[in-house]
Amino acid sequence: MTLDESFIVPEWPLPENVRALCTTRLGGQSLPPFDSFNLGTHVGDSPNHVQQNRSKLAAQCGLSQNSLQWLNQVHGNRVCEAQVDGIVREADASFARVRETACVIMTADCLPVLLSDKQGKQVAAIHAGWRSLCSGVIEATLSTFRQSSTVTAWLGPAIGPSAFEVGQDVVDAFTSASCGYAEATHKAFSPIEGQDGKWLADLYSLARIRLWSQGISDIYGGGHCTLTNATQFYSYRRNGVTGRMASLIWMT
The dihedral region occupied by 8, where left means phi > 0, alpha psi between -120 and 50, and beta the remainder, is beta
In a domain, 16, yes or no: yes
CA-angle at 128, arms to 127 and 132, nearest 5° = 105
Residue whose C-alpha is closest to residue 70's, from 59, 52, 60, 83: 83
| pLDDT, tens digit (0-9, with 9 covering 90-100), for 122-154 | 999 999 999 999 999 999 999 999 988 899 999
Distances (CA, A) of 72 to 42, 55, 149, 197: 9, 19, 29, 32
The boundaries of the domain holding residue 247 are 7-161+216-251
Domain harbouring 121, CATH code: 3.60.140.10
Would strands 245-251 and 123-128 be described as parallel, antiparallel, or unpaired?
unpaired
DSSP 189: E
In a domain, 52, yes or no: yes
In a domain, 241, yes or no: yes
pLDDT at residue 4, rounded to an integer: 67
Count structural domains, the chain: 1
Specify whether the CB–CB gap between 109 and 229 falls below 8 A: no
In a domain, 115, yes or no: yes
Q: What is the pTM of this model?
A: 0.96
In a domain, 146, yes or no: yes
Query: Is the Cα torsion angle 196, 202, 205, 211 positive or negative in sign?
Result: positive
In a domain, 197, yes or no: no
pLDDT at residue 179, rounded to an integer: 72
d(Cα 245, Cα 145) in Å, to the nearest integer?
Answer: 26
Residue whose C-alpha is closest to residue 167's, from 130, 132, 136, 209: 130
Tens-level pLDDT at each residue, the chain (252 residues): 456 678 999 999 999 999 999 999 999 999 999 999 999 999 999 999 999 999 999 999 999 999 999 999 999 999 999 999 999 999 999 999 999 999 999 999 999 999 999 999 999 999 999 999 999 999 999 999 998 889 999 999 999 999 999 999 999 999 987 777 888 999 999 999 999 899 999 999 999 999 999 999 999 999 899 999 999 999 999 999 999 999 999 999
In a domain, 175, yes or no: no
In a domain, 91, yes or no: yes
